[in-house]
Amino acid sequence: MVPAGAISGSSPFGLRGRRAVVTGAGTGIGRAIALGFASAGADLVLLSERDNLGEVAGLARDHGSAVRCVRLDLADAALRRDTIEQLLDDHPVDILVNNAGQIRRESAERFSDRDWYDVIEVNLHAAFDLARATGRRMVERGHGKIINIASLLSFQGGLYVPSYAASKHALAGLTRALANEWAGRGVNVNAIAPGYVATRTTSELRADPTRNEEILARIPAGRWAEPEDIVGAAVFLASAASDYVHGHVLAVDGGWLSR
């Protein structure tokens, strides 16, 4: 493995010789980040709760990456902890991307306990389990990069998504807390806060003409993001180019937070 401070090849953005774990890698932002890492030279361990990693794994291998695919339901706390420990023992990693997440939409007064706890379990508890297990090993080796996928709702409350907003606020706080502990020990912990991205998760919003128009009117860039718009930020935070960046939540939002 290449120490975090080393420059891979001629570019500080290169990832050759590094191995990255990406959760929720079968679709959307996770898939785009995985392929971006592969194009930058990284090997990959891809996680998904569904059997949907074949295509992205094949494309990553076309870039020359070694790829392992793991089907894992991150909502199962006992299973994920055991699987993560074994996985990290088998495959020491330099980069972790906590991308997997859930969202449930309902007004707060009708929001169910199940929808509250399910979202918190995956978006926050699973992310901490992964960061803790990965970070412990990174600290021992003296290098590593952890990237949490936060949200605009790490800064705002949103509408009809109380558990999602709470989990993403907490993930931003966790990012800063871990950075405070590990920055001086060679481990960078940062987050990306995507804006409104055209993925399966946002299909309901895009299908609603009124809500879609409201969202577009608020975005200075004038369009929804594509998953590929998040890749540059992820490669930066995974690479030696960000070695002095700690505890930052980087908004990639088309200017939404500036409006």
Q: Which residues in the chain belong to E strands, given as ranges? A: 19-23, 43-48, 67-71, 95-98, 144-149, 187-194, 249-252
The runs of H, that is alpha helices, within 113-218 are 113-120, 127-141, 162-182, 203-207, 209-218
117 catalytic? Reply is no
For 185, the token pair is 């020990």
* Number of other residues whose CB lies within 10 A of the CB of residue 140: 11
**Active-site hit among 160, 164, 196, 244:** 164
Beta bridge partners of 69: 46
Task: Assign 85 to helix, strand or coil.
Answer: helix
Residues in the chain: 259
CA pair distance 253, 219, nearest whole angstrom: 8
For 189, the token pair is 């912990």
Residue type, 254: G
Residue type, 63: H
Place of tokens 């793991």: 70
| φ/ψ of residue 45, rounded to 5 | -120, 115
CA pair distance 188, 49, nearest whole angstrom: 27
- Pair 189, 179: CB distance under 8 Å: yes
DSSP symbol at 79 = H
Among 167, 132, 129, 163, smallest CA distance to 149 is for: 167
Catalytic residue ranges: 164
